[in-house]
Amino acid sequence: MNTPFSIRDSRQLRAFTGLTEEQLEKLEKTFEEVYEEERKQIYEEAVRKGERKRKPGGGRKGKLPTMKLKILFLLFYLKEYPTFDILGGMFGLARSKAHKNMHKLMPILYKTLENMEVVPRRDFENVEEMREALTDTDMDKIIIDATERPHHRPKDSEKQRSLYSGKKKCHTLKNTIITSIDKFVLFLGRTFPGHKHDYTMLKEEFPPEFPWFEGLGVFADSGYQGIQKDYKGDNILIPYKKPKKSKANPAPELTETQKDHNRALSKVRIFVENAIGGIKRYNILNHVFRNRKANFDDDVIAICAGLWNFTISF
């Protein structure tokens, strides 16, 4: 049974896609440009190899004939993370076709968001490149945090141990996130297995021997103990931790000054929590991750971060 996918109103559109009608129209315009350019390149390459017989546009029409339907198909998958049986049923496709279309179209969505300059940076070659990126966005304050998402339990015992998070008591994936105080995701680190510590990930992507954070206001949580000692910078702030209980100090407490510091820091750090919550509006990052295609676990969080940046920018 073919069930045409339709949206009743703007509320349902936001529920299914995370976007407003105006945002969807802007995304659709750029998506179409990228899609047509991609088709043109594929056609020209097939002609060059002598593998193409039909002219562009020939052949049977697909079940997702319009750009809007293609985008709705992708956004619904990210937002609700259904099985391919359900996704196919919603759009009148067989399960295998739903799978094929998703992996065919998702890279085009990624490139669309890149062209709109909303995908976060994934790495910096050097300090100068990072400073240039921050200068372009007029940012002198950044907030650092890490996000964790569930992953299916691997059968391979070595990979299983690597993905197991002692903190979450399940198998997870982790990424470092750096945002501005206006909740824009400036940097999204590569995807690490769940056993990695937040601070270890930061040191691998931003080696402490370089002055990455010098001259910046940097806000981090208590999971980044040692950052003030290891990195250069006079304005790197983390919360005070309550001292450990001991015989000499049986009832440890923070001073009022330290509590005030922690409260002030929390009022700034809440913005990175808001950004992570915005990224995780897409349930593909909340439900146990099932996809097995190589690197898709990394691509999908970059797409969701790009969509979040898009919604707060347009």
Report how far residue 57's alpha carbon sits from residue 68's, in angstroms, rounded to the nearest whole number: 18
For the segment 6-29, the average pLDDT, to the nearest whole number, is: 94
**2 confidence band (pLDDT: 50, 70, 90):** very low
Residue 126 in this model has a pLDDT that exceeds 70: yes
Report how far residue 260's alpha carbon sits from residue 57's, in angstroms, rounded to the nearest whole number: 65
Query: Can you give the pLDDT at residue 298?
Result: 98
The answer to whether the beta carbons of residues 310 and 23 sit under 8 Å apart is yes
Residue 97 in this model has a pLDDT that exceeds 80: yes
Round the CA-based radius of gyration of the chain to a whole number and report it. Answer: 23
Report how far residue 46's alpha carbon sits from residue 222's, in angstroms, rounded to the nearest whole number: 55
Residue 56 in this model has a pLDDT that exceeds 80: no
Report how far residue 123's alpha carbon sits from residue 144's, in angstroms, rounded to the nearest whole number: 14
Query: Can you give the pLDDT at residue 3?
Result: 47
For the segment 200-223, the average pLDDT, to the nearest whole number, is: 96
Nearest 5 degrees, angle CA 210-CA 173-CA 170?
A: 130
The answer to whether the beta carbons of residues 272 and 145 sit under 8 Å apart is yes
pLDDT in tens, 33-50: 999 999 888 878 877 888
β pairing state of 164-165 and 185-188 = unpaired
Report how far residue 114's alpha carbon sits from residue 91's, in angstroms, rounded to the nearest whole number: 27
Q: pTM score, two decimals? A: 0.94
Residue 256 tokens read as: 């009022």
